[in-house]
Amino acid sequence: MNAIEFTEMARKKEIDIVEHTCQVIENIEKINKNYHYFNTISKELAIEQAKKIAKSPKGTLCGLPVSVKDCICVKGVESTAGSKILKGYRPVFNATAVENAIKEGAIIIGKTSQDEFGFGSFNVNVGVDFEMPRNPFDIERCTGGSSGGSAGVTQMANFPHISIAESTGGSIACPASFCGVAGITPTYGLVSRYGLIDYASSLDKIGAMAKTASECRLMLGVIKGKDPKDATSIDAKEGDSAVKKVAVIKEALEVDEKIKDMVLKALDSKGIKYDIVSLPLTAKYANSCYYILATSEASTNLAKFCGFKYGAEFSLEDSYNAHFTKARSACFGKEAKRRIILGTFARMAGFRDAFYLKAAKVRTMIINEYKQAFSQYDALVSPTMPVLAPRLDELSKLTPLQSYMMDVLTVGPNLAGLPHMSINIGFSNRLPVGMMITADHFCEGKLFEMAGH
C-alpha cells in the first residue's frame, strides 16, 4: 500500500490511525537500533496527533507517517541539524513546510539523521553524540548525504511513509540514489525556507523523498507555496508537463561504465528518444563555484552559533573571543570547521573579488547555459551519482577534495535553482542506481511525467 492509497483509506475510517501510528513507532524504534536513521523519534507527538486526526480524519495526508530532516524545525521536538551545538534545542514553532503537512493530516514520527548542517555527501559527518546511518542494502555502506536518514528510513519502512528532506548541493538526489528511492528537489523558492536551519541561503531547498515519484508529488503539492514569512518563496503555477524532447548530458556520462549503461538502457526501455547535449561550463566549473559560494554563506550563517544567544551554553568567565572559540571548538565537527574556514577565507576583503564575486558571476553563466539547453529540450538526464554507495571504510581514506568531487553531477542544478529528481532504475552488484532528471524552473510536472513514463 502506498501513501496515496493509505490516506484514502484513512479518510474513510478503514484504518485505525492510532493503532497504526503505535505500530509505526515500534517499527522505527527497532530499525533505529542498527541503522540509526533517526536522531529523535517523536513518539508522544505522533500519538497525540494520531488521536486528534482519528476524531476527524481529513486532509491530503490524513494519518500518514511523515519523517522530517533534522535541520527542519518541528515544534517541541529536538531539532539539531545534526550538530552538538544545537543539542537540546526544541523550537517553539513549526517550519512552514511542516506546518502545511500537519494541517493536511500528517503525523510527524521523528527527525532524521543528516551530515552536520548538511556538510557532506555521505552522511558520515554527523555531529558528536550522533550515529552514522547505514545503507539499507548493505550495513557496511553509507546512505549518501546529507539527507541520508530520510532516504534510509524511506527505503526500509514497511508502512506508507514520506520524508520531508532538504538539499543544498545534492542532499536529496544523492541519498535517494544510494538508497534506491525517489527524491524531488523543487525549484528554489517553491517551498518556504521558514523554519529551516540554514546552510547556504541562496541554495537551500526543502523537498521530499518517498518510494515512488507519485508520493513525492503528493507531498510537494502540500508543502509548496508563497509564505509571508519567507521573502524568497514564490507562489508559482506548475508549468507545462509535456515532455517532447529529452537530452542526456554528455559530460555526465564520464562515470562508472555500468552506471552509464544502466541510464541509457533505462531510457531505451521506456521508449524515450534522446539527443546528447554538452554543458561544458557547468561540467568544468560548477563544483568549484558551488563550494566557494556555499561555504561563504555557511560561514556567515553559522556565526550566530557562538554560545551566547544561540548554541550550547558555556561559562561566561572568559573574554568574548575566548568564549566564542571554546564553544565552537567543542561543538562543531571537523567538516563544519573546515567549511567555515574555507568560506571565511573566500569572502575576506583581500580575496572577495578573486573568489566569491567571480564564483557568483560563473553561477550566472551556468544558469544561462542551462537556459540555453532548455530552449531546445524539455528535460535533461544524467546519472545521479558517479559511483555506487561506497563502503564506510573506503570513505575514511578519501581526501576532502575527493569527497567534494562526488557532488560533480548534482551541484549544477542546485546552483541554478532548477528542479530535479532522482529515481531508481535498477541495481548493480545488489546496490541501487539512480537516474537524475532536471527540468526548467517551475517545471516539476515534467519531472513527474518522465519519472512515471
- For the chain, the structural domain boundaries read 3-223
* Active-site residue set: 69, 146, 171
Half-sphere exposure of residue 158, counting CA atoms within 13 Å on the CB side? 6
The pLDDT of residue 238: 75
* CA–centroid distance for 203 within its chain: 11
The pLDDT of residue 203: 98
CB 424 within 8 A of CB 366: no
Helices (H), 231-279: 257-269
For domain 3-223, give its CATH number from 3.30.1490.190, 3.40.50.11900, 3.40.228.10, 3.90.1300.10. 3.90.1300.10
The pLDDT of residue 341: 96
Spatial distance between the Cα atoms of 410 and 153, rounded to a whole number of angstroms: 22
The pLDDT of residue 453: 59
The pLDDT of residue 302: 95
Question: Which residues, 6 or more positions from 68, have their beta carbon under 8 angstroms from its beta carbon?
Answer: 74, 95, 98, 108, 110, 111, 112, 163, 164
CB 40 within 8 A of CB 70: yes
C-alpha cell at 9: 483509506
CA torsion sign, 305 to 309 to 312 to 317? positive
Q: Which amino acid is at 46?
A: A
Residues of the chain with pLDDT under 70: 453
CB 162 within 8 A of CB 135: no
Spatial distance between the Cα atoms of 124 and 116, rounded to a whole number of angstroms: 9
Q: What is the pTM of this model?
A: 0.97
Tell me the CA distances in angstroms from 189 to 193, 204, 235, 375, one per residue in order.
8, 9, 9, 22
Cβ-count burial 114-130 (b if 16+ within 10 Å, e if not): bbbbbbbbbbbbbbeeb
